[in-house]
């Protein structure tokens, strides 16, 4: 890796971790898009997994008083089921698939009718959330907007949403590291990244998360939800265009 590429990667990690610290998503999607463009799918999944696991894990720590642990526990049951399914079929995506699924996620998320009642605090919804979100994470690297669908209709506050999502997303990214780093590693080219790259992005992810937390505290619930939607629609459209360009190129 060149010094310029390392510097650009560091900047993108910091900026996207800040966005994730505010909205609990978006930043992870932008980072995954950048890493998929810059590196191989295997390398992108691994580097993104480390960055987001640290970012979300640290966000969970600084918001620990607002975590709803019973939702984390039931969500994890569904996540483990999704991991078992992927191990059974040994599926790994190519770059076009990553972009297309990643770009479609926001549109699918906002198209889901409210009448479905996907409130994560309701019985059996949290395990379903864990299964769907983990499956998408193992396909596109990120599934924050879909995870958000299960939270926006809940009675949770914005701090509870960010804190609880942070824990579940940390576990999902650790699952991604396990799958692409160990269980499906033989199906992909070696990541080929030096250890210092992972060491570099970890503190930057923590710094960005801290900055995002400061900005989150200055927002109200209405601003939090409306800005999330605008950012994700624009980002989703761009990623779908990128995926289609790879298919027809």
Each residue of 18-35: pLDDT tens digit? Answer: 887 676 567 888 899 999
Is residue 237 classed as helix, strand or coil in its secondary structure?
helix
Residue 84 CB partners (closer than 8 Å, separation 6+): none
Is 76 a residue whose pLDDT tops 80?
yes
Is 223 a residue whose pLDDT tops 70?
no
What pLDDT does 211 receive?
Answer: 85
Question: What is the pLDDT averaged over residues 140-167?
Answer: 87
Question: What is the pLDDT averaged over residues 54-62?
Answer: 85
Nearest in space to 167 (alpha carbons), one of 76, 72, 74, 46: 72
Answer whether 83's CB lies under 8 Å from 234's CB: no
Tokens of 64: 């620990």
Is 6 a residue whose pLDDT tops 60?
yes
CA atoms of 2 and 192, how far apart (whole Å): 13
Radius of gyration of the CA atoms of the chain, in A: 17
Is 193 a residue whose pLDDT tops 60?
yes
**In the chain, pLDDT over 90 holds for what percent of residues?**
43
Domain that holds residue 72: 3-248
CA atoms of 195 and 179, how far apart (whole Å): 19
CA atoms of 238 and 231, how far apart (whole Å): 11
Nearest in space to 186 (alpha carbons), one of 80, 42, 86: 42
Average per-residue pLDDT in the chain? 87
Is residue 174 classed as helix, strand or coil in its secondary structure?
helix
What pLDDT does 130 receive?
Answer: 95
Return the minimum-mean-pLDDT range out of 12-16, 40-44, 216-220.
216-220
What pLDDT does 59 receive?
Answer: 80
Nearest in space to 60 (alpha carbons), one of 168, 167, 203, 210: 167
CA atoms of 150 and 128, how far apart (whole Å): 9
- Report pLDDT digits (tens) over 162-186: 899 889 999 999 999 999 988 888 8
What pLDDT does 23 receive?
Answer: 65
Number of domains in the chain: 1
- Report pLDDT digits (tens) over 97-124: 999 999 999 899 888 887 888 899 998 9
Residue 184 DSSP symbol: S
Query: For 203, what's the count of Cα atoms within 13 Å in the CB-facing half-sphere?
Result: 3
Is 220 a residue whose pLDDT tops 70?
no
Tell me the DSSP string of 82-128: HHHHHHHHT----HHHHHHHHHHHHHHHHHS-GGG---TTSTTHHHH
Is 154 a residue whose pLDDT tops 60?
yes
What pLDDT does 79 receive?
Answer: 96
């Amino acid at each position: 890796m060149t010094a310029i590429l390392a510097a650009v990667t560091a900047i993108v990690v910091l900026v996207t971790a800040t966005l994730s610290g505010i909205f609990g998503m978006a930043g992870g999607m932008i980072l995954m898009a950048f890493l998929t463009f810059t590196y191989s799918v295997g390398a992108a999944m691994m580097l993104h997994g480390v960055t987001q696991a640290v970012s979300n894990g640290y966000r969970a720590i600084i918001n620990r008083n607002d975590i709803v642990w019973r939702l984390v526990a039931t969500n994890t049951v569904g996540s483990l089921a999704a991991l078992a399914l992927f191990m059974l079929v040994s599926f790994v995506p190519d770059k076009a698939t990553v972009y297309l699924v990643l770009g479609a996620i926001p549109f699918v998320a906002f198209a889901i009718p409210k009448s479905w009642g996907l409130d994560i605090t309701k019985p059996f919804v949290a395990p379903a959330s864990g299964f769907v979100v983990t499956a998408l994470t193992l396909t596109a690297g990120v599934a924050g907007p879909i995870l958000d669908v299960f939270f926006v209709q809940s009675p949770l506050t914005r701090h509870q949403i960010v804190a609880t999502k942070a824990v579940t997303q940390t576990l999902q990214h650790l699952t991604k590291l396990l799958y692409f780093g160990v269980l499906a590693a033989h199906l992909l080219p070696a990541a080929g990244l030096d250890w210092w790259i992972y060491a570099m992005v970890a503190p930057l992810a923590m710094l960005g998360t801290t900055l995002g937390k400061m900005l989150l505290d200055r927002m109200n619930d209405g601003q939090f939800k409306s800005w999330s939607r605008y950012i994700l629609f624009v980002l989703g459209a761009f990623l779908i265009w990128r995926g289609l360009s790879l298919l027809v190129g």
